[in-house]
Amino acid sequence: MNELVFVGIGLHDEKSLSLQALEEIKTADHVFIELYTNFLPHFSIKRLEEMVTKQIRIISRRNLEEENGALILEAAKAGKAVFLVPGDPFIATTHVTLRIEAAKRGIKTRIIHGPSVISAVIGLSGLHNYKFGKTVTVPFAENFSETPYNVIAQNKSLGLHTLCLLDLKVDEERFLSINEALKLLLQIEQKRKEDIITAETIAVGIARAGSNCPTLKADHVKTLLAYDFGGPPQSLIFPGELHFMEADALVLLAGAPKNLRGKTR
């Protein structure tokens, strides 16, 4: 069987894997994993190997991007290869290139979906999924641009919420925090002066979505700047126009100021 199965690991640890995902791993000839596109706080390859009685090979960014996933494709050409990816395989990664290359080589591909940071963060926030606009990543200061500010401004002009994913470099153990992201965005506001993100703007911070102990806090930016969200990974939401149910959710579930209920449409 020439086959490549993309399997979503989920967001926290090896227990996030579905029963179907475990079955795919157990019946694979070769199992690969990448851990550089997202951070799983309590994931253990050793524990997973014990669960599935299989050896799992770690794939680096270089293996995938510079070598075009040759190791995985060669294994899939000879048998069944399973490729484990944090979250949901094709939500916030570039692994579609590997899938396309497999198709070009006549290798069958399948996807076993896993929990995604996008659905988890939105679900935790209590905001309505259909009212989100374009998602954007806030990069580290050394690579910073005004793109996140522009996306937030565009979404707000349409009354839509903005999900901001925060940059990370897992191999360097670097994770952009909500506090740092807000400071970077305020610097752009100071330059642009468009009242898109000010000290009084309401924002929602979420840390460790998908774990048993996520942190969720909605408040003015000036308050969130000093709030301790704990460890990574972290995400940020800038709400657009709020339905009264969304305002209730932010007040009751995320500790937002009660006067937010008076700012709905």
Using the predicted structure, report yes or no on whether residue 50 has a pLDDT greater than 80: yes
| Strand order through the sheet with 234-238 | 136-138, 162-166, 234-238, 202-207, 215-220
How far, rounded to the nearest angstrom, does the alpha carbon of residue 100 sit from its chain's CA centroid?
22
Using the predicted structure, report yes or no on whether residue 264 has a pLDDT greater than 90: no
Convert the pLDDT of each residue in 194-253 to its tens digit: 999 999 999 999 999 999 999 999 999 999 999 999 999 999 999 999 999 999 999 999
CATH of 3-112, one of 3.40.50.300, 3.40.1010.10, 3.40.190.10, 3.30.70.2200: 3.40.1010.10
CATH of 117-263, one of 3.30.950.10, 3.30.2270.10, 3.40.50.620, 3.40.50.2000: 3.30.950.10
Mean pLDDT of 95-113: 94
Please identify which residue in the block is written with the tokens 């000839």: 29
Other C-beta atoms closer than 10 Å to the C-beta of 50 total 11
Could you give the CA distance from residue 154 to residue 163 in angstroms, rounded to a whole number?
13
- Residue 39's pLDDT is 87
Q: Are strands 3-8 and 80-85 parallel, antiparallel or unpaired?
A: parallel
Domain boundaries, the chain: 3-112, 117-263
- Give, as one character, the DSSP assignment of residue 129: G
Using the predicted structure, report yes or no on whether residue 65 has a pLDDT greater than 90: no
> In the predicted model, what is the mean pLDDT of the chain?
94
Could you give the CA distance from residue 53 to residue 148 in angstroms, rounded to a whole number?
44
Convert the pLDDT of each residue in 134-168 to its tens digit: 999 999 999 989 999 999 999 999 999 999 999 99
Convert the pLDDT of each residue in 22-34 to its tens digit: 999 999 999 999 9
Using the predicted structure, report yes or no on whether residue 93 has a pLDDT greater than 70: no
Cα end-to-end span (Å), the chain: 56
Convert the pLDDT of each residue in 115-132 to its tens digit: 999 999 999 999 999 999
**Quick check: pTM over 0.85?**
yes
